[in-house]
């Protein structure tokens, strides 16, 4: 069975003080109602990874993730952060291929695959993000778009590597816009991704991969989304910057 996961993506928000306070408030709420069966992941900015990781130390159902990593192993790449560096401070997960990285920083599928492989080599689980633009959706090309993203990157892994991934589907047009894909849209895409994994690998591997949904998930719509058969959790953006809202979302998953 896939692991149930609720991941927070803080993006480029908060200074050191507000990051500590948000973590403290999250852990305070968590101590009152902690669903041990749900893995909670906090994807925080690079400068605060060590601080937040130490604050969460000892809480087994909480892990800390980076929001990105370099596609290079090491060397003269000023400003880059390697998977090895992340591993050295015991980071367990990393986002990779987020639409903002693809759209703003022009990351290609080849770059994303390089990052995935380096993360796996350093025993860090990649949270692979995929999603389509509003144009692809309107043209009815959304299913083909996601398949192409996967075939050009993670489907080049062997099964022993692929099984260590988490996959997050985020329609680009629903990220931070207040728009949410319909229940039918989400169900269709998550079922499509599950079937793609099955056809490329096996039924058993497909049924073991956690598929997350992201895109304006809030406390008032989370339960309906998480009740969809192939949705195993969420990647939460704006709502994760409020500890109470994030905990309410965590508690929405059965």
Active site residue 188: no
User: CA–CA separation, 244 vs 250, rounded Å?
Assistant: 10
Do 153 and 109 form a contact (C-beta atoms < 8 A)?
yes
Helix (H/G/I), strand (E/B), else coil: 177: coil
What DSSP element (H or E) covers 213? strand 211-213
Tokens of 150: 């996967």
Q: Nearest 5 degrees, angle CA 107-CA 110-CA 113?
A: 100
User: CA–CA separation, 107 vs 118, rounded Å?
Assistant: 16
User: CA–CA separation, 79 vs 82, rounded Å?
Assistant: 10
Active site residue 16: no
The one catalytic residue in 100, 107, 132, 170 is: 170
Do 189 and 197 form a contact (C-beta atoms < 8 A)?
no
User: CA–CA separation, 182 vs 23, rounded Å?
Assistant: 31
The one catalytic residue in 98, 142, 145, 190 is: 98
153: exposed, middle or buried (C-beta count within 10 Å: 0-12, 13-18, 19+)?
A: buried
Positions annotated as catalytic residues are 98, 170
């Amino acid at each position: 069975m896939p692991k149930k996961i609720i991941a927070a993506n803080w993006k480029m928000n908060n200074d050191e003080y507000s990051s500590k306070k948000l973590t403290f408030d999250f852990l305070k709420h968590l101590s009152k109602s902690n669903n041990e069966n749900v893995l909670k992941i906090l994807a925080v900015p690079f400068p605060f990874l060590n601080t937040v990781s130490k604050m969460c130390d000892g809480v087994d159902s909480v892990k800390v993730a980076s929001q990105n990593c370099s596609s290079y192993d090491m060397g003269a790449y000023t400003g880059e952060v390697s998977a090895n560096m992340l591993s050295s401070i015991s980071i367990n997960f990393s986002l990779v291929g987020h639409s903002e990285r693809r759209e703003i920083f022009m990351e290609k599928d080849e770059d994303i695959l390089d990052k995935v492989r380096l993360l796996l080599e350093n025993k860090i689980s990649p949270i692979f993000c995929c999603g389509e633009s509003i144009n692809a959706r309107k043209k009815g090309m959304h299913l083909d778009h996601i398949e192409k993203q996967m075939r050009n990157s993670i489907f080049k892994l062997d099964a022993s590597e692929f099984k260590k991934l988490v996959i997050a589907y985020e329609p680009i047009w629903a990220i931070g816009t207040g728009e949410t894909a319909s229940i039918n849209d989400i169900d269709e895409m998550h079922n499509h991704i599950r079937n793609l994994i099955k056809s490329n690998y096996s039924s058993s591997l497909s049924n073991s991969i956690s598929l997350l949904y992201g895109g304006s998930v809030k406390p008032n719509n989370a339960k309906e989304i998480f009740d969809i058969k192939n949705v195993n959790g969420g990647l939460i953006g704006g709502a994760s910057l409020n500890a109470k809202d994030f905990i309410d979302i965590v508690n929405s998953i059965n």
